[in-house]
Amino acid sequence: MTGAVALVGSGEYLPAMQPLEQRLMESGITAGKSPKYVQLATAAGKEGITSWQRWQELGAQQADRLGIEQIFIPAFDRESANDRKYAQLVSDAALIYLSGGDPFYLAQTLRDTLLLNEIEMNWKSGSALAGCSAGAMALVSEIPNPFKLTAAATPGLNLIPNLKVLPHFDRYFGWLPTPVAKYLGKSNQELVSIGIDENTAVFSDGNLDSWEVWGYGSVQLLNKSEKKLLASEEFIISQELIRG
């Protein structure tokens, strides 16, 4: 099994999500990792220094609340993602977190880089891994383009297989009629498509077939578009669920 993992609909580094990040951090420490919180705002790479500084400050505030060391890695392009000095900063961290922005840019920037290799290696040895919004979308198998329904999906980083994620689901998509919501989850691959509400997450202890809902909203299983799960409810990735 890998380390724990969370896919988050919104709210990274905010007080509302502190208990989730605490749970992830404790999981990594229990696995023998150091109390270090690696934060990557790579998905905001095209947004410029004001955005980068905002992410760094938000992350620092959450690290202070958690009482742990922040390690903010300024990897905003492929050159920096292949810089060994940045990749080495991931080593032995209890929690590695990819925050929001552009999921397509995030996947393009990290794919086949030293930094991604280090993230994956540490996660597989016990570090907890989380992605919020764009981070959640990029970590899984396929990145949808929900605002261009005719556009083909983009391959994700596939660290977490068999899933496709629509974050901010209650804000942007929850009002849609059932057939349209189901269409958003459509894939040519055998995937479970999920809509994750804001300030809500799905959590796995490392068994990537088994997931628990955490937070304040719900998770919509788009393969079975009328099925909503609330906090503490679970779902198992299976062929039955994939086929809907």
pLDDT for res 1: 73
pLDDT tens digit string along 49-59? Answer: 999 999 999 99
State the CATH number of the domain containing residue 198: 3.40.50.880
Using DSSP's 3-state secondary structure scheme, residue 186 falls into coil
pLDDT tens digit string along 86-117? Answer: 999 999 999 999 999 999 999 999 999 999 99
Instruction: Walk along the chain (244 residues) in steps of 10 and give the mean pLDDT of each run.
Output: 95 98 99 98 98 99 98 99 99 99 98 99 99 98 78 89 94 70 65 94 97 96 79 85 62
pLDDT for res 188: 60
How many CB atoms sit inside 10 A of residue 100's CB? 23
pLDDT for res 218: 96
pLDDT for res 65: 98
pLDDT for res 73: 99
pLDDT for res 132: 99
Helix ranges restricted to H, the chain: 18-30, 49-66, 78-81, 84-87, 103-110, 114-124, 134-139, 169-172, 178-184, 239-243
pLDDT for res 149: 61
Structurally, the chain folds into a number of domains equal to 1
pLDDT for res 243: 60
Domain span at residue 93 reads: 5-243
Q: In the sheet where 160-166 sits, what is the strand order?
A: 154-155, 140-143, 160-166, 192-196, 219-221, 227-229
pTM, entire model: 0.94
